[in-house]
Amino acid sequence: MSERYVPVGWNVTKIVYDAVVLGIVGLYVSVFLWIAPSFQHATQPLDDYTMRMNAFGTCAFLLLSLILSIGPAARLDPRFLPLLYNRRHLGVIATAVAATHAYAALDWYFSYGPYDRFEMLLRGNTSFFQAHGFPFEVFGIFALIVMLLLASTSHDFWLRFLTPPVWKGLHMALYAAYLAVVAHISLGALQAAANPLLAVVTGFCALGVASLHVAASRVPPVEAALIDGWLDAGPVAAIEEDHGIVVTPPDAEPIAIFRHGGALSAVTNLCAHQNGPLGEGRVIDGCITCPWHGYQYRLEDGCAPPPFTEKLATFRLRIVDGVVWVDPRPNPPGTFVDPVAVT
């Protein structure tokens, strides 16, 4: 977390996560190369190089669609939260798959001209003022550059160096890359496709990603009522053991209230790592665990366990007639607050 930086802090979860993703990628490419020939036009079969290029290209697009769907899906249904862990690993794998697709295309289509392959890529098609035959390659180049940039800055060193708001803003460029990929496919492969399957899959993925984000944006925050300076956070019974709820004060950041060991504690809902939603996580090994990347904090003081140094703002709680009340005024990060026993 904050003590030192290593290339990858491997644990069992990350190993299993990556192994499953790599297994799915390998299986997809193998099945694609096995099944896709049966969908070809009999008089215009594709060569093996093009088949491999299409296999890695469609795989990268599906992975990118999945990456952009995980966040809103987890907000709509907590059962998707396990996919949110180590999502950056999924992004790096998707970038590697996209780069393989780009290399295959570059090696097959631009290796036999009178100029360098990269020069041929940029000067081979300059029909920028017509829809049919538009140089769709520029959209693919843009998307790949964005993905390479995000993959190379996915490490926590860059998160800390750039600060979480800047890092998060930079990684929002993935949406622009996704739109560029859709344009790349629409103006490229779809123009020559004789089978409608690719168009159906592309439309389904793009519409699915957009629909999930719209649905997630319509989930209203729980705004607590403010009475005598304290927020009504609802009944104690609504907070499950080792889980939390989120309440939002008027004109303030949301607060996460957790129940553990028969007592309640409250901290800011924003993880110190990447502003992840702590209230959507749970208590593991006695610590609040962020659902995004597993950062942990003690309940009573919001401090990360040693040797890590992150600290969260804490809040005072009280229980009156079975109702939880929280003081919306945050204590300085790392301030100890006695957990309130549930009676």
Domain-ending residue, one of 166, 192, 217:
217
User: Do 164 and 248 have their domain in common?
Assistant: no
| Residue 117: per-residue pLDDT | 67
Q: Is residue 5 part of a domain?
A: no
Q: Total structural domains in the chain?
A: 2
User: Do 149 and 191 have their domain in common?
Assistant: yes
User: Do 211 and 242 have their domain in common?
Assistant: no
Distance set, CA 84 to CA 10, 74, 130, 171, 290 (Å): 16, 7, 41, 15, 10
Distance set, CA 117 to CA 53, 106, 122, 332 (Å): 16, 7, 9, 57
Domain-ending residue, one of 217, 251, 284:
217
Q: Is residue 1 part of a domain?
A: no
User: Do 84 and 207 have their domain in common?
Assistant: yes
Q: Is residue 6 part of a domain?
A: no
Domain-ending residue, one of 188, 217, 246:
217
User: Do 144 and 54 have their domain in common?
Assistant: yes
Range of the domain at 249: 225-341
- Going residue by residue through the chain, which has 343 residues, state the pLDDT in tens, using 9 for 90 and above: 444 555 556 667 778 888 999 999 999 999 998 887 776 665 555 677 888 889 999 999 999 999 999 989 988 887 787 787 778 889 999 999 999 999 888 876 766 666 666 666 666 666 666 666 678 888 999 999 999 999 998 877 777 778 777 877 888 999 999 999 999 999 888 877 777 888 999 999 999 999 999 998 887 765 555 667 888 888 999 899 999 999 888 778 899 999 999 999 999 999 988 788 898 888 988 999 988 777 899 999 999 998 888 999 999 999 988 889 999 999 999 999 999 998 7
User: Do 170 and 58 have their domain in common?
Assistant: yes
Nearest one of 283, 276, 280 to 1, comparing CA atoms: 276
CATH code of the domain in which 235 resides? 2.102.10.10
Q: Is residue 3 part of a domain?
A: no
User: Do 145 and 47 have their domain in common?
Assistant: yes
